[in-house]
Amino acid sequence: MRNRQILYVHRPEERLSVDDFELVEGAVGQPGPGQVLCRTILLSVDPANRAWMQGRTYRDQLAEGDVMAGFTLSEVVADNGTNIPVGSVVACAAGWQEYAVLHAREVSVVPVLGPLTHHVSALGITGLAAYFGLLRVGGVKGGETVLVSAAAGATGSVAGQIARLKGCRVVGIAGSDRKCRLLLDELGFDAAVDHRSAGFADDLRRACPDGVDVYFDNVGGATLDLALRLLKQHGRVVCCGAVSQYDTGDPASVEGVRGVPGLVVTKRLRLEGFIVSDFAGDWPVAVRDLAGWVASGDITVLEEVVEGLETAPQALVGLLAGDNIGKRMVRVGPDPV
């Protein structure tokens, strides 16, 4: 049996390119004691994949020559002395390859509640980041104004819809007129602003005439700077990610916030970062809530599934340029029968 793998072979000096990866064929490993062999079903394409190349994140920096790292939904096809049944669907970080040998503690069995793709999107890491970021870190309350960036993306689209469900006024920032229309027409946002339009700053001010209570920040950079100025006294910033600073060889060169901490002090703002794994103990409750909202139609799931492991490099390059709507993932193999 062969194992197609995509290696990360070249650290990009500026923007990521498909030439920074190489498709190879390796052998399929055998699980040792306490290990399982996993077959990749779906591979999550995440902006963080690019940040891991820069270092300074919650995981080790990627090294050239490594199998490209990535989160997956996989099927256990063999085990060696674990209590994980063969045939289980597991969430893990198997990387960009068809098969991976992992220790039992590196996989978590997924109680399947719907289509497997939903366990990568609304019920997966991005949906959970939206849930915990908005409800636990942001502590949103009905009647508040919530501003969300990368709002047509995987995390932002769910965060905005949860805010709407909680009775908030929701303003989205997205990178095209088409995405803004989708937020208004299909996801029930109250206003949407295109960050690539020349009049972005004025448009954003007009969309938030009474200021902002909670800013769910997926992008950092110049948009965070604008948002800080729109926040009300005691406003909160949910620091979820900083995608504007990922696809560069020099994150420090990207335009960022000015006048901090002065602005933060004067307005008594609270900026709080989080990693979704901080809330791992409460994931089952969150997944049940999210699945309920999806089933009732309160949350519309936006997903894009691209076919074949070999498409992963272009899928990531395109995501960083904003050509995705909702959660992008790669189908590497079929669902278990």
Distance of closest approach, residue 69 Cβ to ligand NAP, in angstroms: 14
Binding of ligand NAP by 72 (CB under 6 A): no
Considering only the stretches 12-20, 59-67, 151-159, 308-316, report the one whose residues sit in contact with ligand NAP under the rule CB under 6 A. Answer: 151-159
CB nearer to ligand NAP: pick between 21 and 283: 283
Sign of CA dihedral 276, 252, 59, 111: positive
**Subset of residues 170 to 189 that bind ligand NAP, contact rule: CB under 6 A:** 174-176, 179
Applying CB under 6 A, which of residues 40, 72, 121, 244 lies at the interface with ligand NAP?
Answer: 244
C-alpha dihedral (70, 75, 78, 79), degrees to nearest 10: 70
Considering only the stretches 12-20, 64-72, 121-129, 163-171, report the one whose residues sit in contact with ligand NAP under the rule CB under 6 A. Answer: 121-129
Binding of ligand NAP by 219 (CB under 6 A): yes
- In this structure, how many other beta carbons lie within 10 angstroms of the beta carbon of residue 336? 15
Q: Taking a C-beta distance cutoff of 8 angstroms, is the pair 124, 91 a contact?
A: yes
Considering only the stretches 11-19, 69-77, 201-209, 242-250, report the one whose residues sit in contact with ligand NAP under the rule CB under 6 A. Answer: 242-250
Q: Which residues contact 260 (CB under 8 A, 6 or more apart)?
A: 228
Binding of ligand NAP by 125 (CB under 6 A): yes
Binding of ligand NAP by 275 (CB under 6 A): yes
Binding of ligand NAP by 129 (CB under 6 A): yes
- In the numeric block, which tokens belong to residue 51? 């940040």
Applying CB under 6 A, which of residues 47, 70, 160, 251 lies at the interface with ligand NAP?
Answer: 47
Tell me which residue of 279, 232, 325 sits closest to 135, measured CA to CA: 279
State how far Cα 214 lies from the chain centre: 19
Angle between helices 283-295 and 125-132 (to 10 degrees): 100
Binding of ligand NAP by 46 (CB under 6 A): yes
CB nearer to ligand NAP: pick between 97 and 155: 155
Distance of closest approach, residue 191 Cβ to ligand NAP, in angstroms: 15
Binding of ligand NAP by 121 (CB under 6 A): no
CB nearer to ligand NAP: pick between 3 and 176: 176
Please report the DSSP string for 104-172 in residue order: GGG-EE----S-GGGGTTTTSHHHHHHHHIIIIIS---TT-EEEESSTTBHHHHHHHHHHHHTT-EEEE
Backbone phi and psi for residue 160, each to the nearest 5 degrees, phi listed first: -65, -40
CB nearer to ligand NAP: pick between 20 and 217: 217
3-state secondary structure at position 192: strand
Binding of ligand NAP by 161 (CB under 6 A): no
CB nearer to ligand NAP: pick between 82 and 155: 155
- In this structure, how many other beta carbons lie within 10 angstroms of the beta carbon of residue 30? 10
3-state secondary structure at position 328: strand
CB nearer to ligand NAP: pick between 198 and 337: 198
Sign of CA dihedral 187, 188, 189, 195: positive
Binding of ligand NAP by 156 (CB under 6 A): yes
Question: Rule CB under 6 A: which residues touch ligand NAP?
Answer: 46-48, 125-126, 129, 150, 152-156, 174-176, 179, 195, 218-219, 223, 240-244, 274-276, 319-320, 322, 324
